[in-house]
């Protein structure tokens, strides 16, 4: 899988400091004029696990959308894996996104397809040959602990299992960065911890993870880097931080 997909996804480039993501004085205003982000500076190194926390409207989702290149910054510069997202042409966005994995709070699985097809879908999109898909999908499903449920439809799975499928789909193309937008928001506490352990092990294998969350307990317990946002600015950025530091 590796060589062919690398060609599809492009080369991973870091700046001399080893930063995989850099935001320099980034602002984003919407048509209403209200700034969603205001002069953000941020550097994230390859292999980091970063929590982004903050109240609703603090700019967390806008930041994720900017990193996905769903939105373009009004001001400033965003570099991700050597790509300047403020200058990235529309037709080059798909190729850029192939280096990212994305996990949502509501899983966003295709309800009419089984687990295998949901994960294979991510590979089909980047035109991986069927033979390779047949090899890669079972392997990633075993990583998330769902090898035995590949035939199940999403509605036959629990919330935690559905999120595992979503993570498998995000991982199957071996992204350098995993963006997780409240991935445990719909899960009970036990399942939340299962998912967090899974994300941590993925991070230990070298994937950079940016996770937006409201879950105080996991942020405090995991002792990872925590970026706190408020009204479009970063109010704190701490290594091994916690929710307690907010306010």
> Helix, strand, or coil here: 118?
helix
Which residues have CB under 8 Å from 149's CB, separation 6+?
115, 141, 157, 161
Cα–Cα dist 177/47, whole Å: 8
Cα–Cα dist 241/186, whole Å: 24
- Helix axis angle for 130-143 and 159-171, nearest 10°, is 130
Q: Least separation, in Å, of the C-beta of 130 and other proteins?
A: 5
Which residues have CB under 8 Å from 73's CB, separation 6+?
26, 27, 28, 37, 66, 85, 86
Residue number with CB closer to other proteins (1 or 235): 1
Q: Which of residues 141-170 bind other proteins (CB under 8 A)?
A: 169
| 91 belongs to the binding site for other proteins (CB under 8 A) | yes
Q: Which of residues 57-76 bind other proteins (CB under 8 A)?
A: 68
Question: Contacting other proteins (CB under 8 A), which of 28, 60, 97, 174?
Answer: 97
| 37 belongs to the binding site for other proteins (CB under 8 A) | no
Find the distance separating the first CA and the last CA of the chain, reported in whole Å. Answer: 46
| 98 belongs to the binding site for other proteins (CB under 8 A) | yes
Residue number with CB closer to other proteins (23 or 102): 102
Q: Least separation, in Å, of the C-beta of 184 and other proteins?
A: 19
Q: Least separation, in Å, of the C-beta of 229 and other proteins?
A: 22
Q: Which residues bind other proteins (CB under 8 A)?
A: 68, 91, 94-98, 100, 102, 108, 110, 112, 121-122, 124-127, 129-130, 169, 173
């Amino acid at each position: 899988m590796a060589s062919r997909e690398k060609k599809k996804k492009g080369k991973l480039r870091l700046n001399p400091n080893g930063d995989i993501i850099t935001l320099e004085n980034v602002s984003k205003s919407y048509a209403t004029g209200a700034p969603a982000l205001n002069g953000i500076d941020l550097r994230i190194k390859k292999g980091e696990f970063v929590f982004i926390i903050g109240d609703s409207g603090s700019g967390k989702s806008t930041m994720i959308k900017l990193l996905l290149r769903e939105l373009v910054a009004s001001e400033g510069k965003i570099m991700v894996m050597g790509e300047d997202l403020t200058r990235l042409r529309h037709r080059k966005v798909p190729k850029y996104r192939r280096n990212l994995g994305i996990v949502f709070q509501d899983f966003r699985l295709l309800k009419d397809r089984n687990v295998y097809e949901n994960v294979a879908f991510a590979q089909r999109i980047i035109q991986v040959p069927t033979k390779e898909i047949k090899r890669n999908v079972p392997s990633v499903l075993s990583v998330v602990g769902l090898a035995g449920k590949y035939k199940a439809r999403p509605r036959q799975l629990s919330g935690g299992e559905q999120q595992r499928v979503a993570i498998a789909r995000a991982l199957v193309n071996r992204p350098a960065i995993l963006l997780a937008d409240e991935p445990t928001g719909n899960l009970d506490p036990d399942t939340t911890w299962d998912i967090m352990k899974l994300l941590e092990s993925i991070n230990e294998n070298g994937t950079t993870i940016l996770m937006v969350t409201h879950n105080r307990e996991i942020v405090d317990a995991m002792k990872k880097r925590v970026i706190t946002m408020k009204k479009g600015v970063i109010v704190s950025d701490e290594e091994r931080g916690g929710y307690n530091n907010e306010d």
